[in-house]
Amino acid sequence: MARPKKSEERDTRQDILEAALDLFAQDGFFGTSMRAIAREVGVRESALYHHFSSKDAILEGLMQSLGPGQARKLVDLDIGALLDAMGPREVLESLVQAMITLWTMPGEQKLLRLMMSEGHRLGVNQVLNLPRYMREARTHLARVFEAMQARKQLKKADPYALTLELMGPLMMLRVMYLVMPKGPPDLKGFHAEVKAHLDFFWSAVSKT
């Protein structure tokens, strides 16, 4: 069913991304056509090409605004000022909390399910270089640990390696609590396990 038409000022690009994500999650990337996306948005198929050159480009657009692409927001943060104002533990807690809040959003869950079900095929067919996005996300997060080390707030360790130590268990908890359950997720249990991991991680890397 096509989406209701909005005003002339509507953000057609965002409409396309949202419609495509719904269809990708429902029918898979390879099972979704540009025509189907246009029908879902309520525009002519030719209108899609004013915003995206191809279906691959739509998926790239989703990856830039969701998933690992969210880590690009760290570039705009003054990490040093945040550390001075809040302290290292509080900054890390704030970043993790923002991350897991995003993970509970429907769009993020749909994208993760798509990556889990079709990620390998997308890579083989050279549609999406998911490892590149993951490496970029780790690089952005590593800047936070670098800033902490510059202030002698962390033990000596490779900042890039620390991103894996922090994120690996969090991603496992994400799958367990937000992706695998058939019913409503146990958010209370999820947050409790996230806090326990963050406590353990901080006790292992902090100098204080």
Q: How far apart are CA 142 and CA 74, in angstroms?
A: 10
Question: What is the arithmetic mean of pLDDT over 70-96?
Answer: 88
Question: What is the arithmetic mean of pLDDT over 134-150?
Answer: 92
pLDDT of 70 above 80: no
Q: What pLDDT, on the 0 to 100 scale, is given for residue 10?
A: 57
| Residue 200, strand partner residues | none
Q: What pLDDT, on the 0 to 100 scale, is given for residue 9?
A: 40
Q: How confident is the model at residue 8 (pLDDT cuts 50, 70, 90)?
A: very low
Q: How far apart are CA 33 and CA 35, in angstroms?
A: 5
Q: How confident is the model at residue 182 (pLDDT cuts 50, 70, 90)?
A: confident
Query: What beta strand segments (E) does the chain contain?
Result: none
Q: What pLDDT, on the 0 to 100 scale, is given for residue 207?
A: 84
CA distances to 6, 24, 47, 62, 73 from 11, in Å: 9, 20, 13, 15, 21
Would the pTM count as exceeding 0.85?
no
pLDDT of 5 above 60: no
Q: Report residue 155 as tokens.
A: 């033990």
